[in-house]
Amino acid sequence: MSEPKAASLLAQSIPSTYADVPAKRGALYKQVLKRLKNNKRSLLGLWMVSLFIFIAILAPWISPYDPLEQNMDKLLQAPSLSHPFGTDEYGRDILSRIFYGSRISLMVGIVGVVISVVFGVAFGTIAGYFGGKIESVIMRVTDIFMAFPGFLLALAIVSVLGPGMVNLMIAIGIFSVPSFIWITRSAVLSVKNKEYIEASRSMGAKHRRIIFKHIIPNSIAPIIVLSALRVATAILSASGLSFLGMGAQPPSPEWGAMLSAGREFLRTAPHLSIVPGIAIMLVVLGFNLLGDGLRDALDPKMKV
């Protein structure tokens, strides 16, 4: 099942349990945490994600070498005690580059998703809450963007803006916005006609207060799920763009760029590509497991 479809189904099911009783939200959150703790796959994903975040934060202190320091006496060395993951074609320590590369990959993934959430939730809420011509315009534009494969759309945006980290994050953010618009609109449509919303309107509450006080808080569950899943997609897409030379530029220790540089040495030094490839696989797997666990935990139809 695709990410938007899974989150959309969650958006339709959550309001009946979570949004109808705002006063009991604290107790419901405890139940969600209990479900999350009992899900072994989500805990594994959480540990994996936490490990990479820990590595990214402490990279300057735990890296044994400077990731950009070249040593022509140690070119293409195999893994050893002094260099656990070996060295690359310039004698740089791969372990140190992997540690620093986690900073880049996580930053691109998280910042890209934050951009998507901000614009996706804003437009999705406007479309779902106000409806009419505004909704038609927003959703038709969204349909046009969704007609393009996400990676190709990001590639086209980077091609226009030019390679670089900032442009890469913008591209990743833009190509994920349509999914958040659809999910947010679906969630808003499910809650905007609830009794407590009608009570707020009858008491003279303004649209802004209703949206920020009731609509968005009670539509947040599917957005959280999609965000976790989208971080994995963003990291994978960013690595793919860097692999093609459209993302982080040398000598930046970005995993996709490292993977691209290592393909020329697959026969003589396969560790140049294997190590960053495994790093990408593990962080993407971690976010996917965490996202699946959040989806199950936030679904009121699931049993503990």
CA distances from 258 to 127, 201, 219 (A): 42, 56, 40
Q: Bigger pLDDT: 72 or 19?
A: 72
93 forms beta bridges with 87
Q: What is the CATH number of domain 30-60+85-298?
A: 1.10.3720.10
Query: Is the model's pLDDT at 18 over the cut of 50?
Result: no
The pLDDT of residue 304: 42
* Phi/psi of residue 286, nearest 5 degrees: -60, -45
Residues 6+ apart with CB under 8 A from 300: 13, 14, 16, 17, 18
- Burial pattern 251-262, b for ≥16 Cβ within 10 A else e, equals ebbbbbbbbbbb
304, 282, 263, 262: which is closest to 92 by C-alpha?
Answer: 262
The pLDDT of residue 52: 95
DSSP H helices, 131-203, are: 132-146, 150-161, 165-191, 195-202
The pLDDT of residue 220: 86
pLDDT digits (tens, 9 = 90+) for 189-206: 988 888 888 887 788 878
pLDDT digits (tens, 9 = 90+) for 274-288: 999 999 999 999 999
Mean pLDDT for the chain? Answer: 85
For residue 242, with 0-12 CB atoms within 10 Å meaning exposed, 13-18 middle and 19 or more buried, which class applies? Answer: buried
Angle, in degrees to the nearest 10, between helices 220-243 and 3-13:
170
pLDDT band at 301 (very low <50, low <70, confident <90, very high): low
Tell me the two tokens of residue 193.
């006609």
Question: Can you tell me the distance from the alpha carbon of 131 to that of 142, in angstroms, rounded to the nearest whole number?
Answer: 15
pTM for the model stands at 0.85
